[in-house]
Amino acid sequence: MIVAKAWRGKRYAVLGLARSGVATVRALVAGGASVVAWDSDEARRDEILPGTGRGTSSAGGGGIVPGVALADAPLHHQPAAGGPPPRAGEDLIVAPLDDLSAFDAFVVSPGVPLNTHPLAAAARVAGVPVVGDIELFAQARADLPPHKVVGITGTNGKSTTTALVHHILKTAGIPTLMGGNIGLPILEQEALPEGGVYVLELSSYQIDLTQTLDCDVAVLLNVTPDHLDRYDGFEGYAASKARLFAMQSAEHDAVIGIGDAPSAQIARGLSAKGEHLTKIAPGVCMDQSSWPTLQGPHNAQNALAAIAVVKALGVSEVDIDRGLVSFTGLPHRMEQIASYGGVAYVDDSKATNPESTAPALAAFDRVHWIVGGRAKGDDLDACKPAFGHVVHAYTIGEAGPKFAEILKDSMPVENVGTLDAAVRAAAANAKPGDTVLLSPACASFDQFRDYEARGAAFRAAVESLA
């Protein structure tokens, strides 16, 4: 795992024990830090340290649990109240967090809303830095073999571009790891050898929790309205994305898509970078015929950004071409999962807003569109230019009735309610050459754990047709 000498002897409070939180605890303890951790989910508390799920250290919720190792360093539960304090580098306490003033930093999951969570406010009042695992990685860089870091952000296309850059680098024989928002905690991975490249997908939430990440190549794909409940309006969200470049050294490279006004404005603010700034203009014609998993205008933009990144890292044209052709894509992102009777079934469950759904609709000639879930806005305006590609729509979830009303004058539409019903209805109506497309333009949380569970349910429904 990745650790930093700078953590030794310091005290950290960690809130959130999902995968990245657990990786953070492991790395901090292995690096010689003392950690107090908490999660409101009892199962997660018990997973990291059995015996803590139904209580706290002071209340006798488990006692000493020897031999429970989350890392190479031993982890123990704090004794009952009045016992000795934990020894830095050896002990982990799982207990509710209240007074943060004694900690050197408060480490939170990106899912913790910094604008409303009381502990985030308490940390700011106490003058305790509020950081995430990406900032801890930035602090560890000085202790790693010489390497480079690529940071990729944007409202849409982050995961595909991150995976594509990683794949091209691997094709070129360059040691590389990807991590961050793509679902792979960077701290739990083994450090790369000299000359390696870390490729990080970064959400705005992760950037908010990062202060010192100086990316050798920083990428902004686009900025469209999203996550506005976490920011003081759209301008605040765009400003979060722009911070990725504010952390960069002047001589490091920036790649920015300028197809929307906020991104173009950010690019104008970086004009002093000169040759170290690459702008990706919209509507560039490219021959994508040999890139089977990179179809559609949105993937043309993702590919252009990835090409600019790897060129900045010195990858040859031959290796770039090989990587584009052999890229297999990512699950739940324009993923064709079956073809029955000449009808293709495509899982684009990762499209959780209208802006990310629009290019998916435009990528196919005749679409049976499954749309709906927990809406992030009140309209589907971003999708309107591609309405002509839709031969029938099937609305699901909380947004189903509202979306059916929005779409009824533009296309045949049925409010079917569930994903399984939508698949059956689409299969009954589709003709050879058509595409049944799950591209919901919504979050999944009304009916599913996450977009991955929604995609898995779509696959199961499609496979039941065989």
Distance CA 154, CA 241 (A): 7
What stretch of H or E contains 148? strand 147-153
What are the φ and ψ backbone dihedral angles of 341, each rounded to 5 degrees?
60, 35
Question: How confident is residue 51, by pLDDT bands cut at 50, 70 and 90?
Answer: low
Q: Is 392 a catalytic residue?
A: no
pLDDT tens track for 367-377: 999 999 999 98
pLDDT at 63 over 50: no
Is the CB of residue 160 less than 8 Å from the CB of residue 328?
no
Give the mean model confidence (pLDDT) for residues 95-103.
Answer: 92
| 148 catalytic per annotation | no
Q: How many residues does the chain have?
A: 466
Taking residues 137-166, report their average pLDDT.
96
Separation of alpha carbons 70 and 23, rounded Å: 9
Does the pTM surpass 0.85? The reply is no
Tokens of 238: 């765009």
Token representation of residue 354: 């209208």
Tokens of residue 379, six digits: 């309209």
> So what's the pLDDT on residue 153?
98
Provide the token pair at 49. 């340290």
429 is catalytic: no
| Residue 381 token pair | 């305006």
Mean pLDDT of the chain: 89
Please determine, for residue 323, whether its predicted confidence score (pLDDT) is greater than 90.
yes
Cα–Cα distance measured from residue 19 to residue 25, given in angstroms and rounded to the nearest whole number: 10
pLDDT reported for residue 174 = 98
| Locus of tokens 């002509």 | 388
Q: What is the DSSP string of 244-299?
A: HHHTS-TTSEEEEE-SSHHHHHHHHTTGGGGGGEEEE-TT-----TT-TT--SHHH
The DSSP code for 87 is P
What angle (nearest 5°) sits at the alpha carbon of residue 430, between those of residues 429 and 436? 115
Q: What is the pLDDT of residue 98?
A: 85
Residue of 76, 77, 158, 252 marked active site: 158
- The pLDDT confidence band at residue 283, using thresholds 50, 70 and 90, is confident
Statement: residue 54 has pLDDT above 90? no
Largest CA distance in the chain: 73
Give the active site residue among 181, 222, 299, 353: 181
User: Which helix H or strand E contains 92, and what residues bound it?
Assistant: strand 92-94
Q: Where in the chain is the domain with CATH 3.40.50.720?
A: 5-131
Tell me where in the chain the CATH 3.90.190.20 domain(s) lie: 335-463
- pLDDT score for 293: 86
Would you say residue 230 has pLDDT above 90?
A: no
- Tell me what the mean pLDDT of segment 335-350 comes to: 95
Whole-angstrom CA distances from 170 to 8, 310, 324, 455 are: 34, 11, 12, 27
Who wins on pLDDT, 338 or 225? 338
pLDDT at 435: 97
Is the pLDDT at 86 greater than 50? The verdict is no
Mean pLDDT throughout 46-53?
73
* pLDDT exceeds 80 at position 229: no
Is residue 220 within 8 A of residue 153, CB to CB? The reply is yes
Dist. CA 333–CA 168, nearest whole Å = 18
Catalytic residue (choose from 227, 273, 311, 402): 227
Q: If we measure between CA atoms, which residue out of 133, 138, 136 comes closest to residue 111?
A: 133
End-to-end C-alpha distance for the chain, whole angstroms: 44
Of residues 123 and 295, the one with the higher pLDDT is 123
* Residue labelled with tokens 């009140």: 378
DSSP state of 47: H
* Torsion sign over Cα 233, 236, 238, 240: negative
52 band by pLDDT with thresholds 50, 70 and 90: low
Has residue 68 got a pLDDT over 70? no
- Listed in order, strand segments (DSSP E) in 361-463 are 367-372, 390-396, 413-417, 435-438
Q: Which long-range contacts (CB under 8 A, 24 or more apart) does 122-127 make?
A: 126/100, 126/101
Residue that is written with structure tokens 């349910």 in the block: 457
- The class level of CATH for 143-326 reads alpha beta
| SS3 label, residue 179 | strand
Which range among 54-63, 127-136, 341-350 shows the weakest confidence by mean pLDDT?
A: 54-63
Q: Which residues contact 20 (CB under 8 A, 6 or more apart)?
A: 109, 110, 132, 133, 185, 187
Domain with CATH 3.40.1190.10 in the chain: 143-326
User: Does 224 have pLDDT greater than 80?
Assistant: yes
Cross-strand pairs, 257: 280
- In the structure, what pLDDT confidence band is assigned to residue 345 with cuts at 50, 70 and 90? very high
Neighbours of 189 (CB within 10 A): 16
pLDDT digits (tens, 9 = 90+) for 172-222: 999 999 999 998 899 999 999 999 999 999 999 999 999 999 999 999 999
Q: What is the pLDDT of residue 405?
A: 98
The pLDDT-based confidence of 2 (bands split at 50, 70, 90) is: very high
Q: What is the mean pLDDT of residues 308-315?
A: 98
pLDDT confidence of 232, banded at 50, 70, 90? Answer: confident
Do 426 and 335 form a contact (C-beta atoms < 8 A)?
no
Candidates 3.30.450.80, 3.40.50.2300, 3.40.50.720, 3.10.350.10; correct CATH number of 5-131? 3.40.50.720
**What letter would DSSP give residue 23?**
H
Q: Please tell us whether the domain made up of 335-463 is placed in CATH 3.90.190.20.
A: yes
